[in-house]
Structure 1
């Protein structure tokens, strides 16, 4: 695990070593078999603005003057099952005597290929709104204590409305996540960094004033492929 502001200090959370050959000379090409069994892979691979978490194989040939080193990265995905508790999100936002809207999202936890479905209700409109959108914000937090860094990245902008709404109007939302580069939500990884996602509802009036309301959602990587594969293997074994 490498923090870009702390280059040179790599934090290892998994390290396994195997000796493949005794001291001697190589006079021709040789192949060495190796195996690491039951390797713990607690976190998902991740490359962000200020941090990189990687798994890799490193082959080292030790020599007197300088070693020969070759590395190969391995991508690790953490698969999850469907959350049992997945309540909808319903919130109100407004400016006293000027604007009152209610928005609702169908879930609070979405897998990376999911669809965000929701509605915006306009209960009171006394300002001239010309534009409304939903943004997906990715917030990467690194460091601890006084040395905490926050990096916000707008992953997606989804236009809900272009023009003035009226009181009582209801606008549907349908945002497909599969088209965006997203990762699962990552919390306090190795006590070094976190990655969180937010839905940011943005309204812009005719005087270019911006009103917004943010709501965190949890993203997770679906593990259905693994379960289907395992059930298929079990079916073959039972035949």
Structure 2
């Protein structure tokens, strides 16, 4: 990532400790480019070095150099207003002048990172290291993103989901999923029972829907996207028939469920069962599920 250049060209490079050994996540940056970010966890220290070089051998007069570790939420309809929920700062150099390249160490120890990184349709939650060089004319700043994963232990109680879809004297279906909380690599296992079928069903499909809610009323925005949709039955079922469901979550681009993060956004997941009859009428039932991230073996 390039530094911002002003009248006096300055190169700023931020190197994170042990970044090569960390898992990497691809993050979309400006203009649809992707940037590779190292993964950190809650309580991990964020440390590294900052190298500053003045081009052309000119001297750099500055009013101080600092490094910050920032967690912020950016709402796309509120551009320009970044809501910082975490801000730590360390001074690297007192006001003075620089004639040759300098390297500084920084270490933010055991940082609490209470939220997971997220990049959605209308919101982005990001963590980054920012180096600022204060100057009389114009400050120079450089940022370097990291990606944060948060683990949640599965709840002890994880009840099965049982629901019914019915149209009086025409259709009565019960469906059951093995549990209501899943981890990101889990398998959804379920069954659909046809107790009464007096309409001609053409096919049935199951989809996973992600719903992102940002802001608060009256400036609240909801965006839904279908993560996957697949047909689980083609043709008319008969009374007493049972259709098994097995859906592997590991192949999809899922995040954990986020509920009211810093009072700015939520991301929820739903299983949506749709029946379509021969006249293309649609009957559907939606059920929220919870998705968590657990430590990988």
Settle same-fold status: TM greater than 0.5: yes
Partner of 1:46: 118
Partner of 1:19: 91
List alignment gaps of at least 5 residues for structure 2: 1-72
Whole-Å separation in 1 of the counterparts to 2:292 and 2:213: 18
Partner of 2:181: 109
CA shift, 1:62, in A, is 1.5
Segments ≥4 residues shifted beyond 6 Å: none
Partner of 1:122: 194
Partner of 1:132: 204
CA contact (8 A) 1:134 1:160 kept: yes
Partner of 2:55: none
CA shift, 1:39, in A, is 1.5
List alignment gaps of at least 5 residues for structure 1: 226-239
Partner of 2:82: 10
Match of 2:278 among 179, 203, 206: 206
Whole-Å separation in 1 of the counterparts to 2:144 and 2:282: 47
Partner of 1:58: 130
Whole-Å separation in 2 of the counterparts to 1:60 and 1:162: 61
Partner of 1:234: none
Residue correspondence of structure 1 range 170-209 to structure 2 within 5 A: 170-209=242-281
CA contact (8 A) 1:158 1:175 kept: no
CA contact (8 A) 1:81 1:224 kept: no
Report which structure shows greater RCO (CA 8 Å, sep ≥6).
Answer: 1
Match of 2:229 among 137, 154, 157: 157
CA contact (8 A) 2:128 2:144 kept: yes
Partner of 2:156: 84
CA shift, 1:26, in A, is 2.0
* TM-score, scaled to structure 2: 0.74
Structure (1 or 2) with the greater strand fraction: 2
CA shift, 1:158, in A, is 2.2
CA shift, 1:136, in A, is 0.3
CA shift, 1:82, in A, is 2.2
1:142 aligns with 2:214: yes
Whole-Å separation in 2 of the counterparts to 1:28 and 1:12: 34
Question: What do you get for the CA RMSD once the two structures are aligned?
Answer: 1.0
Whole-Å separation in 2 of the counterparts to 1:118 and 1:160: 11
Look up the SS of the partner of 1:159 in the other structure.
strand
